[in-house]
Structure 1
Amino acid sequence: MSSKLIGSDLTRAMLERGDKQVWCAVSNESEQDAINTIKNVDGRFIMHIVSFENECFLCEEEGTWKYAIPIKKIPLTQDEVGL
């Protein structure tokens, strides 16, 4: 059994250590549904998660979610796009 944190467990751990805002793909259906948000680049379900209370993730945009998968948003560089 692996002890590495992934998915919503990782988001909870990041909030517990004091992270104030975590970019996440979110869903109320399942973790796989949140992962599909990433694969489908569906920006409607990418939120700033700010806390975990009463078994729900709370986002800065004032919604609540059952699942929140942390993502990394970074700007591309000139080298990465081949210019």
Structure 2
Amino acid sequence: MNVSSVMKIEAAECRAALTLIRRTIEEHCPPGVLPSEEMVNGLYGPGLMDEAEAIAAAILSTIDKLQLRSIDKPPAPSTKS
């Protein structure tokens, strides 16, 4: 058995994994960081790697938003007297 046969993953399995990741991002990340599947097709393309690229961009956008949110909030005032 060669490496290419071991490393081959079916497209349906990849699509299922990307769908699971997409649903998780839609549920837990800020609204709008991941375009709809239809928009991804227009912006990136219809392929599996195009969906993966859109997901990666959404993850990076979420990180940026979280970092900005933590910078914008000043530290809580001390309650010690």
Q: Give the TM interval when normalised to the shorter protein.
A: under 0.3
- Name which one, 1 or 2, has greater alpha-carbon Rg: 2
**Structure (1/2) with the larger strand percentage:** 1
TM-score relative to the length of structure 1 = 0.26
TM-score relative to the length of structure 2 = 0.27
